[in-house]
Structure 1
């Protein structure tokens, strides 16, 4: 136990101020001398041992009647290891513009609000902490310290399985652990949300897997640099959040991963997704993600793959800058697609968002998958654009044809040319009209021979041609006449064969259409 006589002058000042909750400011008032980056040169007159802070927060100097004790200190050099692991802290404490020689250990502690603002700290370990209030690390520089006992990896800020009833504020902070874990907060519950705005920078991976964020994650304008060895800048696997705000210049040099995350509002408006620095890996991986509103109007196309396989969103907002060369869309389900038009978000139908553009979007997938086409066609039908839905399904069949063996591809080309796979049945009428005119003109300039002299109906070129083309039934002309000219006889045979092919194609195409719709 520390005795009062052992305390230095700044420590006595803090000791005396604590019971009344008074603030202690050790700054000199000279800007050059008070810069936190120069804290390593601050002398004994500005140095407070970490053991003194621990002793006060553990009740070494009791509160005065009628006063609320708290620890409030500015401009100090904190020597030694501030170890409050497992402590039951009944008092809030604020440390501003301080320089820490060693890291801070708050793992497993229970405490009131904590503020370490504008300070330099070589690592904060706060796994399993319970905070009845807020955690404030605004404008602080937190650097990677020792290996965490919870995950055996170098990390700068650990909040694994922490519970904060208020907000976690990292506004303007710089968290540094290049190639490692800058923030490790798997299982974090932050009821007031996590705020990483006003110039927040992370050098290393930010991990919030399984986090519960009713107040959301706000990273407007944040920069995520130097990701971990796996190239992941931000991991939010299975997280649940009201809002994920990656807008207004947010940039990530690594994968943003949202596997299985559940979000109400997700926005990347004006963001830059550079993907992993080595060029391998996706810029956005959102497999099985669920979101109500998904705004993906980026500042420029991502440099890496966007993987949305199995994701579900109610409203998708995109633009020409949203999509890279490769997009994984198999299983991606959306209720509506909206684009910006005249400053308003409107349904993405019409000349400004053509079917060809949407089909080209699907074709960015590296392989054929029918679901993206079916999903797009379903959306067009719900929007009342049945013709556009049929165009999408026709494009699906043409894409599928490339994956078939040669014989099936040939049959597919025939179906496409004759009836557009059943989505353009009017083509059958065009073929029928053309062949009818060809036969009527060709047969009308010559006289055939009767099969039986003096029997049968008079020769009618048009009726005769139709009789050849229609494979079912008969009009009494085909069997009554034959040709002595080989060329006309072969034309008759050809019309019979084309009639069968055309009829088969019509039946196959219409059957497929009825089955799909």
Structure 2
């Protein structure tokens, strides 16, 4: 049990200031002497034992009537471990430009606002804690501490299953656990926002699996680095958030994983850089089954590796020439509208001359053949009133599918493509019929055939005879009434009959497919 006589001079000053909530400032005012990085060299005149602060926070010094007790300390070296695990803390903790000798333990604690700005802390364990107010770590360096009770990985900042009624402010902070978890916050419940802006740096995985971020996550300009073997820089699997803002120079040297995440408003990567894992073995973005209203993917430059959007659903997709890598997984990706960023202006990506070619090339970045991306794109064109573009997309789908068929089916596919464009270009059949009719009329018109029955039947008409050969159903009476002694013309007649059957079959198959799809 601490007694007042056992306290050092700075500890007595803090003890006396606590009941009235006054700040104790141990800084010298000389910049080079107040560098937090050199805090380990600060002497007894700037050192406060963690045990003294624990005693104060747990009621060792009664509060002063008419004042709000608060622990406010600046420029101090804090020796020993600040162990408040499971404590019920009714006071605000405020540390500024302090150097902590050991990690801070708030596991399972209930506390008021906790502010640690411009300080150095070797790990903060706040798993299962409840913070009534804000957790503010602006400009602080939080380095890897001991493994969390929830896992065996080295963790710098643990907020696993914690609940914060205010916000978490990490602006300009550096959270470092190379190869481990810089931030472990699976199951975190936030009523405010999480702010990691203005030069925030995380070395190690930022892990927010299943987090509930009602106020959103804001990481504009943040740098996330994952040098470890996992390769994941940011994990938001199954998280629920109002907004995810990963823009304004946000850089991830590792995978950004949003598998199953649900964003009720805006998900933006505008101006972001997604480098993927440093070793190149892993995707830049995994958004499998992700849901968002507005998905802005206008990056500063193309991602270095795969983007996986399988099963994702968004209402509005914004992209640009820098959005897509060489491989994009699109099977099951559903969107309501696409807007393309060109020269700083955004407009609907329909109606342009190269729109369909550009979008089909986008789909072709997906490995293998999957019909859904083509059907989704065609549906979008159709809803936008561009039926011709929708048919061009569906034609591209059939051509892609043809590559996966056995040789005989590929031959038939080429025939359907050349004759009626798989039913999406029925006018091609008319062109073929016109060309063959002209060929037959000219060829048969230069010779005289033999009548099957002399003196019977209608006079020979080259044009009508050619049509009779090309139309396989019914008859015009010419084909059965005349024959050729000239072998070349007889073979031409057989060829026109064959073409007639092929064209008719192709037209029926193509039109049937079109009616089924539309």
- TM-score (norm. length: structure 1): 0.99
Q: In structure 2, do the counterparts of structure 1 residues 353 and 151 end up closer, same or farther at CA, with 3 Å as the change threshold?
A: farther
Aligned residues: CA RMSD: 0.8
Say which SS state the counterpart of residue 489 (structure 1) adopts: helix
The aligned residue for residue 422 of structure 1 is 423
CA–CA distance in 1 between the matches of 2:139 and 2:289?
35
Q: Which residue of 1 aligns with 2:80?
A: 80
Secondary structure of the residue aligned to 1:287 is: coil
| Residues 76-106 of structure 1, C-alpha deviations (whole Å, 9 max, x = no match) | 0000000000000000110110000100000
Deviation digits for residues 422-463 of structure 1 (CA, Å, limit 9, x no counterpart): 000000000000000000000000000000000000000000
CA distance in 1, matches of 2:417, 2:8: 90
Aligned to 1:19: 19
Question: Is contact 1:180–1:227 with CA below 8 Å preserved after alignment?
Answer: no
The Cα of 1:147 is off from its aligned counterpart by 1.4
Give the Cα separation in 2 of the matches to 1:302 and 1:344: 22
Distance of 2:440 and 2:14 partners within structure 1: 108
Partner residue of 2:395?
Answer: 394
Task: Tell me the distance in 1 between the aligned counterparts of 2:28 and 2:107.
Answer: 33
Matches within 5 A, 1:348-497: 348-351=349-352, 354-497=355-498
SS state at 2:199 partner: coil
Match of 1:187 in 2: 187
Q: In structure 1, what is the equivalent of residue 253 of structure 2?
A: 253
Displacement of 1:345: 2.6
Q: What pairs up with 1:150-161 in 2 under 5 angstroms?
A: 150-161=150-161
Partner of 1:207: 207
User: What residue is the counterpart of 2:43 in the other structure?
Assistant: 43
Aligned to 2:32: 32
Say which SS state the counterpart of residue 256 (structure 2) adopts.
Answer: strand
Per-residue deviation at 1:310? Answer: 0.1
Shift in Å at residue 150 of structure 1? 1.4
Aligned equivalents of 1:270, 1:439: Cα separation in 2: 63
2:114 corresponds to: 114
Q: How much has 1:342 moved relative to structure 2?
A: 6.6
| Structure 2 unaligned regions, length at least 5 | none
Q: Structure 1 residues 345-354 or 357-366, which shifts more?
A: 345-354
Tell whether the 8 Å contact from 2:298 to 2:341 is kept in structure 1 after alignment: no
Q: Displacement of 1:340 after TM fit?
A: 2.7
Cα deviation, residue 152, structure 1: 1.4
Change (3 A) 1:8 1:311: same
- Give matches, 1:65-104, under 5 Å: 65-104=65-104
Maintained 8 Å contact 2:351/2:386: no
Alpha-carbon shift at residue 187 of structure 1 (Å): 0.5
Alignment partner, residue 336 of structure 2: 335
- Where does structure 1 lack aligned partners over 5 or more consecutive residues? none
Q: TM-score, normalised by structure 2?
A: 0.99
1:2 Cα deviation from its structure 2 partner: 0.8
| 1:393-449 superposed Cα distances (whole Å, 9 cap, x missing partner) | 000000000000000000000000000000000000000000000000000000000
Native 8 Å contact 1:181 1:228 kept in 2: no
Report the 3-state secondary structure (helix = DSSP H, G, I; strand = E; otherwise coil) of the residue aligned with 1:152: coil
Q: Structure 1 residues 30 and 180 mapped into 2: Cα distance closer, same or farther (>3 Å)?
A: same
Taking the aligned partners of 2:79 and 2:132, their CA distance within structure 1 comes to 27
